[in-house]
Amino acid sequence: MLMKTPLRSVLTIAGSDSSGGAGIQADLKTFAAHGCYGASVITALTAQNTQGVHGVHPCPPEFVAQQIHSVLEDLEINAIKTGMLYDVENTKQVVESLKTHYKNKPLPSLVCDPVCVSTSGHTLLHPESVELLIDELFPLATLITPNKAEAELLLSSRNPFADITSLEDMLSATEQLLSFGSAAVLLKGGHITSTMTDVIRISSGHPGINVVRQGLYDENMEILQTGIDVADHPELVVDVLYQSNGKKSLFVMPRVDSTSTHGTGCTLSSAIACELACGLTLEEATKNAAVFTHMGIEAAHPMGKGHGPLNHLHSLTTLKIPQRTLYNPYPFTRMLIQSTAKLWKEYVEHDFVKRLGRGVLEIEAFSHFIRQDYHFLKYYARAYGLLAAKSTSFLGIESSAQAILNILQEIQTHRALCESFCINFQELENTPEATTTTAYGSYLITVGLEGDATKLLVALMACLLGYGEVGLWLTKEASKENSWVVMEGNPYKKWIEDYAGQHYQNAVKIGLETIETLAIADPPSPARLEEWRGVWERCTRLERAFWDMAMDARK
């Protein structure tokens, strides 16, 4: 008999947002997106839209208590999230109801989002309620999730406290907020400007702090950032998690320039509650919830005349490939690279490449490589011919034909380069194919004969993108002070410049656009997507083997 996984139930105690982007509406959407059953207790009704809060009507305190008891007496609740409680009477009823119901049993994970002021400046928590929140509710909480303004308000209620303007201030603030009795504090950094320089400074000064990078480009992804306006020090959003066991974590994500941010705090705290309900640790729950919220902003459709809502249902789309966004224009390719991150790094940063960059690569190794690459490019061009045959549009045929023309131009570059190393055309033609060359070339042709155009293009991309990445990586390293990459006097300088150059990088961009367009136009099933990923991994291994072969030639 098949056993069903028990459905996790999560309760939100919060205000209602008539525009649907925040409050219990955002909470319930988030619960559903996480596969949890959502129950709700309404503390207040609001008249609001994307431009602001126009009115608040609190529920009678006794009715708030009645709602809580009705839910808890009937449902097995695995986590609770509180949002806007509005006034002293309702806050007191929430605290007393929870204490009463869980008097003789453990309280489920409780995430308290201390909603005090709306983005538009409307007061959502009466000042006299702050002390009650701190004294009575926080000690029950697994986690409190204030933003900058809320943290400043909470702290100033006890002692004079300066504005929170830096990561250092955030760390100090979380320590003080933890003294209010919750098991952990997550101070959200959406209203504080941070850069990776700040993160490095903090992590260096606090060796025990855990830095969790999310949504940022990893190493060896230079090709995916061409055409993106990413500054040397891009703005980041850094959330600080401080737990009562002394563990500190920074959750680092790129800042998204978007007006679709209404309900961000509600969504994040609700997502954390869901993750905790499913048994994850607080750090893992926060990590997953931050990614969910970030993607909700990126995938949002502009709505309303002000700050519109997130896309709470982005994770429920049937597409297995993330949507293209301004910051992530090549999500399918990025997914492929990240799925083989270790192997990709071994390919791009191979000892062959490093020695070439330093200008100390043995001539035997480079000579063997360039001869075999000459033969491999014959297979490569023929594979693009097969891709043209599979194309059903003139645009696709033109793209494949242009790739072949680029390869023919690359052959001319090869010949000129070989001549500079005293290898003439006849020697190139007469050099026997190595087993590695034949294995790789034959695999490309085999994939090309199997009928799946996207699968063939995935196979071709490992070579195109890898060499483009190598060129950009070496050039980037060469630009650093006291770099290990030597350009002046390097016998392989021309090779590096060719692959980092505009002509080759244009070919890379065309390849990226083509593969992303194909993948979206013909969405794969999970099995087909895994097949594509397997092809990518195999071709990346074959590329790495090509460098290995060249290094073996030294022997």
Q: What are the catalytic residues? A: 188, 261, 263-266
Q: How far is residue 327's CA from residue 215's CA, in Å, rounded to a whole number?
A: 9
Q: How far is residue 180's CA from residue 91's CA, in Å, rounded to a whole number?
A: 16
Q: How far is residue 86's CA from residue 125's CA, in Å, rounded to a whole number?
A: 4
- Among residues 509, 407, 392, 406, which one has the least CA distance to residue 454? 392
Q: How far is residue 44's CA from residue 452's CA, in Å, rounded to a whole number?
A: 56
Token pair 């380069």 is at which residue?
417
Token pair 């895994």 is at which residue?
530
- Among residues 21, 44, 35, which one has the least CA distance to residue 78? 35
Contact (Cβ atoms closer than 8 angstroms) between residue 293 and residue 310: yes
Cα-Cα-Cα-Cα dihedral of 66, 69, 70, 76, to 10°? 160
Q: Which structure tokens are listed for 212?
A: 């969790």
Q: How far is residue 398's CA from residue 51's CA, in Å, rounded to a whole number?
A: 48
Backbone angles phi, psi at 337, to 5 degrees: -65, -45
Q: Which structure tokens are listed for 431?
A: 């050099």
- Within 8 A by CB and 6+ apart from 382, the residues are 445, 448
Q: How far is residue 52's CA from residue 48's CA, in Å, rounded to a whole number?
A: 6
Q: Which structure tokens are listed for 317?
A: 């789309």
Looking at residue 222, its amino acid is E
